[in-house]
Amino acid sequence: MIRLAQIAILVLYIGLLVLIVAGCSEEVYRYPCMNPKNWEQAQCKRPECEILGECPDQLMKPELTKVKDER
């Protein structure tokens, strides 16, 4: 009986671990304009983003907001 309870607890721990690891796979940004994919949208360009202080250059270091040449 005790052995069965230990196996059940182990299965629950493994399931919980799988859920935690699976939840860490995608990038999450606090503000939409921190995501480089959104930088070309109107909400991430001045003057619209400047009102709330959510422009990419206001949220991050300036060197991080420069688009790298992908060759």
> Which residues, 6 or more positions from 65, have their beta carbon under 8 angstroms from its beta carbon?
39, 56, 57
- Residue appearing with tokens 């230990």: 6
pLDDT in tens, the chain (71 residues): 678 888 899 999 999 988 887 766 677 888 999 999 999 999 999 999 998 899 998 888 877 777 654 44
Q: What pLDDT does residue 5 have?
A: 86
Q: Which pLDDT value is given to residue 69?
A: 46
pLDDT of residue 10: 92
pLDDT in the model for residue 42: 93
Question: Using CA atoms, how far apart are residues 49 and 55, in angstroms rounded to an integer?
Answer: 5
pTM of the entire predicted model: 0.52
Cis-peptide into 32, omega within 30 deg: no
